[in-house]
Chains A and B, each alone.
Chain A
């Protein structure tokens, strides 16, 4: 690709394949190429790049709801859903896609989609919304290629009544160059460059101030004109004005010609000074320049050669179907936010251009892809990390290393090229200053020369007059002299002749003086003229120098932009590789965490088993200990009985002791006394009695002693037995306590393990969430797409039966319906239904739409939305039974299961599960005939305000 300074039409994208150009040049459609259909190539690319598992294919019901919302902006009616779900033909999905694309709702929905994309729900200012929407609707009906639509909108002449409506994009942005620059950047190129208006973007390295002003230069000559006493405003454009900017941070000054994203600078073509305008701008008339930068933009951006333009719209249409862009957010295309699949985005952009920007065919291809049919269920991720994943990671690391080196190289090259641009720019600015000074000097010299010439001219004029007077005087003098000669005495005549002579002499002397003056002035004029010529030459030189500097600046910029774009391309690739790496890391981390969780679960289970065992053993020990304790009772009893016997005997023995001692003492005394008095019979008898008594007592004592001995022996035995039993019990108790300690230990270990498991589980949850996000972002999992306000409104009106009622009414209102074909009939019915019901969308847009002039894709939820559903009259009103609307139909059904089926088909576009049927039956059970409609309404309300209704699945 050659780099020429002032090319008007040059290939503006870097790295376009020759094939692509050839296709454009020869108009070969993609179908003619020996390649698989686009939807197959899309799937192949996605499959080859996929890192994790993908979701299964969605069900028929999910597909029906999804594709109906995406292509027609409305859910199917219960009857349509039933018919489709009961249809067993194998190609019913393709047939459905084609049916929906032919349906009049397609144009309605796409017109709305384009309107929201282009105007972002701005209030109308200069052009009313309905004609604008009609223009879009007509465009979709006519299958107008998107590039043509964009060109029409961006190049519209607001003074031409035929084009005025479509100038809304520009006029309702007050034809303000910055507003247009921002929104054209976002909406047509996917680049929100606003922050780069005053300085290079602080966060996004690749949004430069020169990028902003390159775009701005196309629009800066545009302004809004409201002629006095006119109710209309117009877009007026000048033929001059250059984009010059200064960074508020670095104070570095810059200047740029118009430049499309990804393209080179485009200079204005030469236009003769007198022919700058087709219509000269005045206070009353909008200017139309001979060469309009805006129109040039509209043509060159949309001619298929600008890849940034092509990719942006392809990405937006992709997001329309898939729920998010390959680049997301949609207006942040830059290297740090790489596409989910760079190759795929290139393919889509190129192919969309190659199929002549035909929106319908493109959407059809997207709808046919496998990726469009993914279920929203998150797939079961494999628990093991496949080795291939590790290998893939290695490869990526390798690739990244190479890319880093590449980035450094490209950065250096871009920097060098930029330095050349900066010095060329410096020279340009200097030449510009010099040129300005030379032009001023030249102007002054020209003025001085003109003045000198005028002075000279004045003198020459005066000389001529004086000479003429002198001539007349000379003639008069001669005649007077003749008369004096004839009448010499006449004094009066003599005096007159003298006067003539004096006057003539005076004139002669004046002439001499003037001639001298003229001589001087001629010299001065000559000098001034020379000076002016020299100044002019200098100015011309300065102008030439300026042109030269401009040329070299533009020439320096060519390679710079090539280097810059190459640098951005490698950055994008590296960022994409990093995303892939991150995804693999998340997958790996998730699998690892899953394994760790499993291990933790296993450890906990083992610990739990162990605890069970220990607890069983412990319980047994308790029982054993209790038994041992119980077994102590008998020996204790025996022991205490033995003790009692010993004590009793011992106490009797002790009790007998004093009597025995007294008796022995008395016997001894009696024997002593008898020895002294042997004859004393009484004494003898007493002694004998005493002896007998003592002997008896002695016997008794002996007996008692014997018994004591026996009892003592028994006691000893009992004590022994008791001790043995007690030892047994103590052992059992010890065993119990030991087991109790073990239980506590195991329990603590288990708690720790459970805590670990919980921590792992929560980490796994987080990782799972992250993984789901990443898998959704790489289109391995179907997204949950929030319905747009219009989709929500129309779907609710469909589900509640409002749409069908209006359709019936419209059909009935058709004049001679048999005379028009089905397509025309459908068109008329749709138009009538739209006319009748469209008013309701305003409420939904107000409640569910983002702010005017803000991006409209992101979901948000607010409490007033829930209040609107819960208590607002709109939706609840639609749920009042009326004729054959939803609740009206349900009312006439006696069978609760049939009610459940109708409810789920109408609202959720699917048959209910058994459980769901049971729920409905339960809800309705016990309701009296009178309460039943209210209960049906409550169920319908709950289904309408459910997540499943709010999000496309």
Chain B
């Protein structure tokens, strides 16, 4: 039988669209991949109707929990700052976050995090991958997991975006076995993706013309042999065209001047505003970073300065997401690679501290206003309900409706979505 793909019949057109839909749900590696549940159209439909998103604000270098979410004023470890009341009666945070304090009823604090490491690399890996890295195993980034588990059908925009404070661009290598399709696309210093503008000297008409010619060449070839892989390949070019048409999604300058003013004109403010724009355009996972909190010297001056920036932009972002009704579908996480030592060193600094620190989350699926776990009086130990990176990883995913106890099936391998030896913090989930 000759392949009838080229017949152009209506029924075939439908089959083809379903075929592509199936591909989009599957892994890049093969059509067999993907969450078992997602392969079923009903489940996929349910997902689109309640498309969830995740925003991670990464406080690079290690935010001091004592100068932020878990202040211990008037103790030997407390430092010079006061604790202030928040919009949640009884919950106090550091006075360096006065604007965020007004939004605490949207957020929850986990004050009992212990990740058993004081190493930047290990801590960062554990926090964003939910498991420790070993020489024998590399795990996908939370963004890759989210982008795959919450994959949007028929979207040409990438599902996993990292706004990098520095330059750079292109695709990262952080999807491990989920495949590069789910690796983060880096927006270096908030700029649109690499190669997303037409090269100079190529007119719109010429671009249309050359693409029409490309399609014609492809159609002739795929009439002879068409595979899932050739479909993905040709589809990527259509996606690229769409992405170029939607390039404004990545252009934060299109936001109102008043918003730029509110968020702050520094990089972090710009990046938070861009994050809002991306989330509004249904990008599944966005990570923004704020740097640098590695304050071995002059911890207090640095936090005073850094958190001033953070507080303004972050509070504006939380407020906007709440006002726009996006909080029900958007999970916010503020994390670091670890916290900082309660002990203040001779240089008025605090050092690395993975043993007892805090993570903040809020929005989709999270108990608003909750405070989970506690540290002792001067913050040197977790005194109640200790959790680690793996518990948090499960919790993030369950908050956006992903059954983190399930597995991805990739090439006949059964790969648990999160650490199977751990579980979510149920008390934090709605």
Give the contact stretch, choosing among A71-79, A344-352, A568-576, A865-873. Answer: A865-873
Q: Any chain B CB within 8 A of the CB of A889?
A: no
Looking at A383, A850, A852, A916, the one whose CB has the most chain B CB atoms below 10 A away is A850
Known contacts A861-B235, A870-B240; A948/B217 CB under 8 A: yes
Cβ A871 vs Cβ B213 within 8 A: no
Known contacts A846-B170, A947-B221; A862/B28 CB under 8 A: yes
Q: Any chain A CB within 8 A of the CB of B199?
A: yes
Mostly, the A contact residues are helix
Indicate which residue in A202, A332, A380, A865 contacts B412 across the interface (CB closer than 8 Å): A332
Q: Any chain A CB within 8 A of the CB of B4?
A: yes
Give the contact stretch, choosing among A363-371, A513-521, A673-681, A761-769. Answer: A761-769
Q: Any chain B CB within 8 A of the CB of A57?
A: no
Q: Any chain B CB within 8 A of the CB of A827?
A: no
Cβ B135 vs Cβ A947 within 8 A: no
Q: Any chain A CB within 8 A of the CB of B118?
A: no
Q: Which residue of B lies closest to A861 (CB)?
A: B232
With a CB–CB cut-off of 8 A, which chain A residues contact B377?
A: none
| Nearest CB of B to A752, in Å | 15
With a CB–CB cut-off of 8 A, which chain B residues contact A941?
A: 210, 214
Cβ A378 vs Cβ B3 within 8 A: yes
Give the contact stretch, choosing among A174-182, A234-242, A427-435, A554-562. Answer: A174-182
Give the contact stretch, choosing among B51-59, B222-230, B269-277, B356-364. Answer: B222-230
Q: Any chain A CB within 8 A of the CB of B256?
A: no
Q: A858-B28, A947-B218 are in contact. List 11 more A-B contacts (CB 8 A).
A: A176-B134, A203-B413, A378-B1, A378-B3, A762-B11, A850-B179, A852-B173, A864-B193, A866-B240, A947-B222, A951-B229
Cβ A784 vs Cβ B15 within 8 A: no
Of the four ranges (under 10, 10 to 19, 20 to 34, 35 or more), the interface on chain B belongs to 35 or more
Give the contact stretch, choosing among B88-96, B122-130, B180-188, B280-288. Answer: B180-188
Q: Any chain A CB within 8 A of the CB of B29?
A: yes
| Nearest CB of A to B207, in Å | 8
Query: What would be 5 A-B contacts, judged by CB atoms less than 8 Å apart?
Result: A380-B2, A766-B15, A864-B171, A865-B236, A938-B209
| Cα–Cα distance between A332 and B410 once the two chains are bound (Å) | 12
Q: Which residue of A lies closest to B239 (CB)?
A: A863
| Cα–Cα distance between A846 and B211 once the two chains are bound (Å) | 24
Q: Any chain B CB within 8 A of the CB of A950?
A: yes
With a CB–CB cut-off of 8 A, which chain A residues contact B233?
A: 861, 947, 950-951
Q: Any chain A CB within 8 A of the CB of B216?
A: yes
| Cα–Cα distance between A160 and B379 once the two chains are bound (Å) | 51
Q: Any chain A CB within 8 A of the CB of B411?
A: yes
Known contacts A182-B136, A784-B225, A948-B217; A860/B1 CB under 8 A: no
| Nearest CB of B to A403, in Å | 22
Looking at B156, B194, B221, the one whose CB has the most chain A CB atoms below 10 A away is B221
- Give residues of chain B (198-221) contacting chain A, Cβ–Cβ below 8 Å: 198-199, 201, 206-207, 209-211, 213-214, 216-218, 220-221
Cβ A923 vs Cβ B236 within 8 A: no
With a CB–CB cut-off of 8 A, which chain A residues contact B137?
A: 182, 194
Contact with B along A730-760 (1 / 0, CB 8 A): 0000000000000000000000000000100
Q: Any chain A CB within 8 A of the CB of B345?
A: no
Q: Which residue of A lies closest to B177 (CB)?
A: A854
- Give residues of chain A (773-794) contacting chain B, Cβ–Cβ below 8 Å: 784, 786
Cβ B156 vs Cβ A863 within 8 A: yes
Q: Any chain B CB within 8 A of the CB of A851?
A: yes
With a CB–CB cut-off of 8 A, which chain A residues contact B406?
A: none
| Cα–Cα distance between A136 and B406 once the two chains are bound (Å) | 42
| Nearest CB of B to A518, in Å | 61
| Cα–Cα distance between A864 and B194 once the two chains are bound (Å) | 8
| Cα–Cα distance between A766 and B221 once the two chains are bound (Å) | 20
- Give residues of chain B (318-341) contacting chain A, Cβ–Cβ below 8 Å: none
Cβ B15 vs Cβ A867 within 8 A: no
Cβ A938 vs Cβ B206 within 8 A: yes
Known contacts A179-B136, A195-B413; A871/B199 CB under 8 A: yes
With a CB–CB cut-off of 8 A, which chain A residues contact B237?
A: 866, 869-870, 945
Known contacts A173-B135, A337-B412, A861-B229; A868/B195 CB under 8 A: yes
Cβ A380 vs Cβ B170 within 8 A: no
| Nearest CB of A to B231, in Å | 9
Cβ B1 vs Cβ A863 within 8 A: no
| Nearest CB of B to A207, in Å | 11
| Nearest CB of A to B236, in Å | 4
| Cα–Cα distance between A870 and B194 once the two chains are bound (Å) | 11
Q: Any chain A CB within 8 A of the CB of B189?
A: no
Of the four ranges (under 10, 10 to 19, 20 to 34, 35 or more), the interface on chain A belongs to 35 or more
| Cα–Cα distance between A855 and B175 once the two chains are bound (Å) | 13
With a CB–CB cut-off of 8 A, which chain A residues contact B210?
A: 938-939, 941-942
Q: Any chain B CB within 8 A of the CB of A585?
A: no
Looking at A181, A864, A919, the one whose CB has the most chain B CB atoms below 10 A away is A864
Cβ A870 vs Cβ B195 within 8 A: yes
| Cα–Cα distance between A339 and B171 once the two chains are bound (Å) | 35
Looking at A332, A377, A768, A865, the one whose CB has the most chain B CB atoms below 10 A away is A865
Q: Any chain B CB within 8 A of the CB of A163?
A: no
Cβ B195 vs Cβ A851 within 8 A: no
Cβ A377 vs Cβ B225 within 8 A: yes
| Cα–Cα distance between A173 and B136 once the two chains are bound (Å) | 8
With a CB–CB cut-off of 8 A, which chain B residues contact A766?
A: 15
- Give residues of chain B (1-53) contacting chain A, Cβ–Cβ below 8 Å: 1-5, 9, 11-12, 14-15, 28-30
Contact with A along B228-270 (1 / 0, CB 8 A): 0110111111011101100000000000000000000000000
With a CB–CB cut-off of 8 A, which chain B residues contact A951?
A: 229-230, 233
Q: Any chain A CB within 8 A of the CB of B197?
A: yes
Q: Any chain A CB within 8 A of the CB of B154?
A: no
Cβ A938 vs Cβ B213 within 8 A: yes
Looking at A377, A765, A851, the one whose CB has the most chain B CB atoms below 10 A away is A851
With a CB–CB cut-off of 8 A, which chain B residues contact A855?
A: 411
Known contacts A862-B236, A951-B230; A329/B199 CB under 8 A: no
Q: Which residue of A lies closest to B206 (CB)?
A: A938
| Cα–Cα distance between A361 and B2 once the two chains are bound (Å) | 37
Known contacts A332-B412, A860-B181, A870-B237; A174/B135 CB under 8 A: yes
With a CB–CB cut-off of 8 A, which chain B residues contact A176?
A: 134-136
Indicate which residue in A197, A380, A786, A946 contacts B217 across the interface (CB closer than 8 Å): A946
Q: Which residue of B lies closest to A125 (CB)?
A: B135
Looking at B158, B201, B227, the one whose CB has the most chain A CB atoms below 10 A away is B227
| Cα–Cα distance between A380 and B14 once the two chains are bound (Å) | 24
Cβ B224 vs Cβ A862 within 8 A: no
Q: Any chain A CB within 8 A of the CB of B376?
A: no
| Cα–Cα distance between A383 and B193 once the two chains are bound (Å) | 51
Cβ A942 vs Cβ B214 within 8 A: yes
Q: Any chain A CB within 8 A of the CB of B427?
A: no
Q: Any chain B CB within 8 A of the CB of A853?
A: yes
With a CB–CB cut-off of 8 A, which chain B residues contact A484?
A: none
| Cα–Cα distance between A383 and B1 once the two chains are bound (Å) | 8
With a CB–CB cut-off of 8 A, which chain A residues contact B414?
A: 195, 202-203
| Cα–Cα distance between A761 and B5 once the two chains are bound (Å) | 11
Q: Any chain A CB within 8 A of the CB of B196?
A: yes
Cβ B175 vs Cβ A851 within 8 A: yes
| Cα–Cα distance between A722 and B369 once the two chains are bound (Å) | 94
| Cα–Cα distance between A634 and B415 once the two chains are bound (Å) | 91
Q: Any chain A CB within 8 A of the CB of B138?
A: yes
| Cα–Cα distance between A211 and B273 once the two chains are bound (Å) | 53
Q: Any chain B CB within 8 A of the CB of A70?
A: no
Q: Any chain A CB within 8 A of the CB of B176?
A: yes
Cβ B11 vs Cβ A768 within 8 A: no
| Nearest CB of B to A747, in Å | 19
Q: Any chain B CB within 8 A of the CB of A876?
A: yes
Contact with B along A570-608 (1 / 0, CB 8 A): 000000000000000000001000100000000000000
| Cα–Cα distance between A865 and B185 once the two chains are bound (Å) | 12
Contact with B along A161-201 (1 / 0, CB 8 A): 00000000000011010110110000000001011010000
Contact with B along A923-953 (1 / 0, CB 8 A): 1000000000010001101110111101101
| Cα–Cα distance between A861 and B29 once the two chains are bound (Å) | 9
With a CB–CB cut-off of 8 A, which chain B residues contact A943?
A: 214, 217
